[in-house]
Amino acid sequence: MSFVKYALGIFKKRKLLFLESYKEAEHVYTFVFEKDKDVTWQAGQHGLFNIIHNTIKKPIRPFSVSAAPTENTIKITTSISDNPSDFKKALLELEKGMKIKMSGPVGSFYLKDNSPTLLIAGGMGITPFRSMLKQIETEGNRVEQQINLLYMDSQKLYLFKDELDNIGNSTSINVTYLDSREDLQQEIDAFTTSYANNGQYFISGSKSMVDSISTDLQNNNISKRNIKKDVFPGY
């Protein structure tokens, strides 16, 4: 995505009505907002969310939209520790009827063609992929496309597991759950051996994980143009 297109997307600002929040797992919450009829995005993109019901030092943070565009709400999913940031404290303070501001969604982290595709998620990095796979399931397209999701979580929380399992059972998408980097690397190597630069590689998670996997792929002669990265700060 060009800088100009990104900037124009960021200028699309709106207030979202808060509907509810719920726990996905220990220390992980999903926040649900009303979706206006004219709001759309590419599954996998992120928005800039701005706290407006309270005054805090850093009121704006990026979040992947974990809902698919075809769903009826806008959702963000995030981990919140026992000692959260001011921003996440403010999220927990939201009550039904309150509002938050969103710019976007924007970004180039979305599926663009029917190439064989490897989705690599680490922990909270599953959120953009949840949006992508729900969109595919709803539209019923790309069902013949080779899509593999590798979901690594050393804590074995595996957010959205029931949904991901249902998607895997109803489409040709293959979902693999992993809890070690060694097993993850074996799966990545198997995919690169089969598809090399005929495949597309999407990596989402902590900066250290994303950078490490991206470097390994490039060292194995995977072109940078075939690698898409979505870094989650603060995890």
Asked whether the beta carbons of 159 and 77 are under 8 A apart, the reply is yes
Strand partners, 184: none
- pLDDT by residue, tens only, the chain of 235 residues: 544 454 455 567 899 999 999 999 999 999 999 998 888 999 999 999 999 999 999 999 999 999 999 999 999 999 999 999 999 999 999 999 999 999 999 999 999 888 999 999 999 999 999 999 999 998 875 556 789 999 999 999 999 999 999 999 888 899 999 999 999 999 999 999 999 999 999 999 999 999 999 999 999 999 999 999 999 875 5
DSSP string of 24-55? EETTEEEEEEE--TT----TT-EEEEEE-SS-
The CA-CA-CA angle for residues 42, 199, 162, to 5°, reads 55
Domains contained in the chain, CATH given: 3-106 (2.40.30.10), 117-231 (3.40.50.80)
Distance CA 179, CA 60 (A): 32
